[in-house]
């Protein structure tokens, strides 16, 4: 059963709230929130049209997922509740692990402040299906001072079909399936671009030991060839690398590490995107195009790492090279 949706802000601004209705209460308790505010995609579109900048409409999906499944510019901002972590695999499902966005609540508070809104303003949260992340994201904000948070119960892509040729495809209800505006073109100003995701500067990627280790793991993931340069620079003293050799090595790093980091990041993004697109029922031709693109990028990494090996061997003496190979074997054996 549907009931009329009336919020204090709607009354205060003299907007006709009677024209907006709320969706049914989800039958699953895990998808229910303390606010009890539920709205479907058509209703949130109408609510946004009427309230405009007096509300905040958030897409909480992973931005890579959005890139492959579509976006609506009616949304005010993309703040992911969880993002895919390509460095870890799910223990039970054939997918990457999803990691909680540790800045989720702070990002929402900042988005409200940037628009001159308080935590009392209406907030609508939309994920892919409504219940998987939309409801948990909303529940995550309970007890943090917010007073009007709505769950978009059918999400962006809606529910899966239960039978027919396209069984299990998300083609029932949802923003994408009800004639509302959307496209594969993203509005960069609205997408989630944290500082650590917008830089491809290798020096910034390597600011801490943890970040360096993560980058090396990503690099090994996209190409298992040995990373001689990393081992060499970590053992420069033991290898008796002289100043002239070190200068040549640093010259190579400066000319190539940034480009390598960019390619590695693109491959990891494509992997996450392909996984999301496959789960969303994307056609085979589109998926194969992405795999071809990944193959081309992996070839670039292989070419770069081979050139790096040859350059290191050219710079070092035969004795230094032999010692480096021993050290590299030890690193790979760990």
Distance CA 323, CA 182 (A): 58
Q: Which helix (H) or strand (E) holds 104?
A: helix 104-114
pLDDT score recorded for residue 3? 39
How far does CA 311 lie from the centroid of its chain?
Answer: 36
Q: What is the pLDDT along the chain (334 residues), one digit of tens a residue?
A: 343 343 434 333 333 433 455 678 887 887 889 899 999 999 999 999 999 999 999 999 999 999 999 999 999 999 999 998 888 888 888 888 889 998 999 999 999 998 999 999 999 999 998 878 999 999 999 999 999 999 999 999 988 778 887 776 777 788 999 999 999 999 999 999 865 443 334 344 344 455 556 656 666 666 677 778 888 888 888 889 898 898 888 888 888 877 888 888 888 888 888 888 887 787 888 888 888 888 888 888 888 888 888 988 999 999 999 999 898 888 777 6
The full DSSP string for 123-185 is EEEE-SSSTTTHHHHHHHTTTTT---EEEETTTTT-EEPSSSTTTTSEEESSGGGTT---BS-
Domain parsing of the chain, residue ranges:
3-194, 199-333
Distance CA 312, CA 11 (A): 71
Which tokens is 124 given? 């609508």
Note whether 49 and 182 are within 8 A (CB).
no
Q: How many CA atoms lie within 13 A of 221 on its CB side?
A: 21
The answer as to CATH 3.40.250.10 being correct for domain 3-194 is: yes
DSSP label at residue 102: T
The residue count for the chain: 334
* Cβ contacts of 211 within 8 Å, gap of 6 or more: 205
CA distance between the termini of the chain: 61
pLDDT score recorded for residue 289? 85
pLDDT score recorded for residue 267? 83
Note whether 225 and 332 are within 8 A (CB).
no
- In the three-class reduction of DSSP (H, G, I as helix; E, B as strand; rest coil), residue 188 is classed as helix
Note whether 32 and 26 are within 8 A (CB).
yes
The full DSSP string for 46-90 is HHHHHHGGGSEEEE-S-HHHHHHH-B-TTSSEE--SEEEEEEEE-
Query: What sections of 209-333 are H helices per DSSP?
Result: 209-222, 228-234, 243-279, 284-315, 318-333
Torsion of CA 309, 311, 313, 316, to 10 degrees: -130
* Cβ contacts of 8 within 8 Å, gap of 6 or more: 120, 148
Distance CA 149, CA 119 (A): 9
């Amino acid at each position: 059963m549907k009931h009329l949706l009336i919020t204090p802000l709607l009354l205060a601004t003299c907007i006709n709230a009677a024209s907006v209705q709320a969706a049914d209460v989800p039958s699953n308790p895990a998808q229910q929130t303390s606010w009890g505010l539920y709205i479907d995609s058509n209703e949130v579109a109408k609510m946004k049209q009427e309230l405009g900048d007096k509300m905040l409409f958030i897409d909480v999906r992973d931005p890579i997922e959005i890139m492959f499944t579509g976006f609506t510019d009616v949304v005010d901002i993309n703040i992911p509740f969880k993002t895919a972590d390509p460095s870890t695999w799910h223990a039970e499902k054939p997918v990457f692990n999803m990691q909680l966005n540790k800045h989720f609540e702070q990002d929402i508070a900042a988005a409200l402040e940037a628009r001159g809104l308080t935590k009392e303003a209406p907030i609508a949260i939309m994920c892919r299906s409504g219940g998987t992340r939309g409801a948990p994201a909303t529940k995550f904000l309970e007890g943090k001072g917010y007073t009007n948070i709505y769950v978009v119960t059918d999400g962006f892509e809606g529910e899966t079909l239960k039978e027919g040729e396209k069984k299990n495809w998300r083609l029932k209800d949802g923003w994408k399936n009800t004639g509302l505006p959307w496209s594969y073109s993203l509005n960069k100003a609205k997408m989630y671009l944290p500082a650590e995701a917008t830089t491809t500067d290798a020096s910034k990627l390597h600011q801490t030991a943890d970040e360096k280790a993560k980058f090396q793991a990503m690099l090994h993931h996209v190409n298992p060839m040995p990373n001689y340069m990393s081992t060499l620079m970590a053992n420069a003293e033991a290898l008796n690398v002289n100043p002239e050799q070190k200068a040549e090595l640093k010259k190579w790093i400066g000319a190539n590490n940034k480009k390598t980091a960019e390619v590695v990041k693109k491959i990891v993004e494509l992997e996450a995107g392909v996984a999301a697109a496959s789960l969303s029922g994307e056609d085979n031709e589109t998926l194969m195009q992405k795999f071809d693109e990944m193959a081309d990028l992996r070839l670039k990494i292989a070419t770069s790492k081979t050139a790096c090996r040859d350059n290191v061997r050219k710079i070092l003496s035969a004795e230094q090279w032999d010692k480096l190979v021993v050290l590299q074997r030890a690193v790979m054996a760990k």
